Structure formats: structure tokens, C-alpha cells
Amino acid sequence: MPCLLRRAAGSALATILCFTPAAADSPPREPVAVTEHFAFFSDFETNLNDRLIAAGRARRQGDPESFHRGPESACLDQLPPSQRRAWNLAVDYYAESVSPKKFVDGEQFLLRLDLADMVADDEWEPEEWPLVRIARGFRQAAAPAYETCRWQHQDQENRRWIEAITALLATHEEMLAGRLSEVYQTPWRGLPIPVDVVETVSWAGANTFLLRPPGSCHVLVSSSNPDYQGRAALEMVFHETGHYLTGRRTPLSTALAAATERLGNPFHGDLKHAVNFYLTGEVVRRRLEEVGEPDYTPALYALGLYDRGTFRSSAESTLPAYLDGERTLDEVVEDLIEALAARSAG
């Protein structure tokens, strides 16, 4: 049955969910594109859920929201009153019960499990089933307005993003997937990994659930976030799935746990997530440079992550030795922690 182990992971929190696979009681979702490692979806209900979460958050904060500005507002005004009211009631519900929560909270992650067809109706716990059913009802009520005033444009944007990322993967996927598996010393399983493409995904623009079994993950990514366009999208999909390659009991996770137990942890935050940013970004940068596409700036720098502390300089002085084959993973993790401690003390 669904269970949850929570852990903070900075801009892309990670969650381990254990569940019984869903029964075949509904038609399977159809991906827009499938590669060796990824299955990309532009799913109507998942996008509706994303838009309702965003609209609910905006309503709570008094910000402009969907269907209350621009062409969508004019479209909503032309709908039958029953459809306008249904949309607003759904946003009210989400604003009160779903939008204020983090994506690791039940009010959001249960809906995500449901939307991705990961749990059958007869497998929900008694306390979970009402929430799932209520959210379904509000989405059903809001669907006509969303389909009329937004879905066609959003689906086009999602497919544009999917077309761009699959073109990049056609050139780089095999090498990057193989190299990252080597770097994190963890094989890929549960392929292809489902990636749902939507508009918003909160402030982070992407997040990941780690799933057990079958030992894979589920990724949600924004097609509109400016930080995840072009070559940055390539790093993003591998960074997000890097949460799987660095999950519990993986070599990096084990090495960090052992080193911090011996040496302490001078880093304030999720060190494993920071290492994922550095290593994955550097692997992508090196790959692009090797094939004649230089001047790529990894997300760690492009997004200004960890720029107020000592992580960047400590990582730059230690982690390349591992990528270059000069130090083992265990050795370089200790080097990193010692460098962090020295810079923090200095």
C-alpha cells in the first residue's frame, strides 16, 4: 500500500513511495514520446491538476490567476455560467485543501499517484480514498472550462518541449545515461521513467518521486519554466532522475552517510542534492564540450544555487578528481567534507 518516507531536497524535493502496483482497471496513459530511459506525457488530467494547484495558490496569495487575465479571461466570460462556477469552485477547493501543501504531503502526492495510474481504486487506504475521490470530482467539474480555454495551447507547449528534449536525447542520451550510471555506481531500472510535462510545477519547475517497487521514479517538469529550455532541459531530466541514482542505499548516499558520521556535516542543507547538482551538471557540460558544443553553464551556476556558502569552491576543488578517475567515490566524499569544514572554519 502507499507509504511515504520524506526528505528535503532543496529545489527538487525527493520522496520515496512504496506501493502495490495499480490493477489494470483503466486504459493505460499514452506517452507522447518514448526513449530508452524516458516516457514523456502531456496528460490532460495531470495538466488540469497542475493548473488548479497554481490557480489555488494564486487565489490564496491574491495574485493574478488562470482565467482572470488575458485571453483566458475573455474565454471564461463566454462560457455558460455553470462552467464558470464549476471552475471557481474547484479553484476554491484547491486553494483551501491542496495548493498550500508541499508536493510530499498527502494532499498532493496522493493525487499524483492517482493521476499517474500507480494505485488502483481498491488499493487506497480508507483515509486516502475520500481525498482522491473529492479531488477527482472537482477536476471533473473544472474540466470543461480548462479544455475550452487552455488545454489546446498547453498541450502544444508541452509537445514543443517534448520534441526539443527528445531531439537532444537522440544525440546525448546513451552517453549521458551510461556515464551517470558509472559516476553514481547505480544501474538504471524500471525503464522507461515516466516524465509528466505540465505548465508550472510550483516554484521549483520540477520534482521527483522515487518509487519502490519497481525501483524507478516519476518526474514532473514544467514546459514553460525559462530555466528548463534548450540544453538546460537535458541536464534537468538527468538531474531529476539523478535522485533515483543517488537514492537510499546507493553508493553516493552510503558514502556521504559514512563520511558525515566520522567527520561531521559542516554543510547546512541536503548535501547529496548539492552533489547531484554538481556532478550531473559537470557530466553534461563535459559531454557537450566533447561533441563541440562548449560554453554550457550547468544549473548550479546558471540558477545561482548554493552561491552564499562554501559548497561551490569545495566541490570544484575535490569532485573533479573523482570524475577524472584520480580518486574513489569514498575518498572524494571525505575530501569534500573536509574542504567544507575548512572553508566554514576559515
Q: Are 41 and 193 in contact (CB under 8 A)?
A: no
What the block records as the C-alpha cell of 62 is 491574491
pLDDT top residue among 283 and 2: 283
The structural domains of the chain, with segments of one domain joined by +, span: 3-25+37-183+191-231, 246-345
Q: What is the pLDDT of residue 71?
A: 73
Give the tens place of pLDDT for each residue, 231-249. Answer: 999 999 999 999 999 998 9
Q: Which residues contact 66 (CB under 8 A, 6 or more apart)?
A: 51, 54, 55, 58, 72, 91, 150
Confidence of residue 4 (pLDDT cuts 50, 70, 90): very low
Give the tens place of pLDDT for each residue, 117-142. Answer: 988 999 999 999 999 999 999 999 99
What the block records as the C-alpha cell of 284 is 553534461
pLDDT top residue among 309 and 286: 286
Instruction: Average the pLDDT over 95-110 and give the result.
Output: 93
User: 326-334: long-range contacts at Cβ-Cβ below 8 A with a sequence spacing of 24 or more?
Assistant: 329/185, 329/251, 329/252, 329/255, 330/255, 330/258, 330/259, 333/252, 333/255, 333/256, 333/259, 334/259, 334/262, 334/263
pLDDT top residue among 92 and 294: 92
Residue 49 has pLDDT above 60, yes or no: yes
Residue 66 has pLDDT above 80, yes or no: no
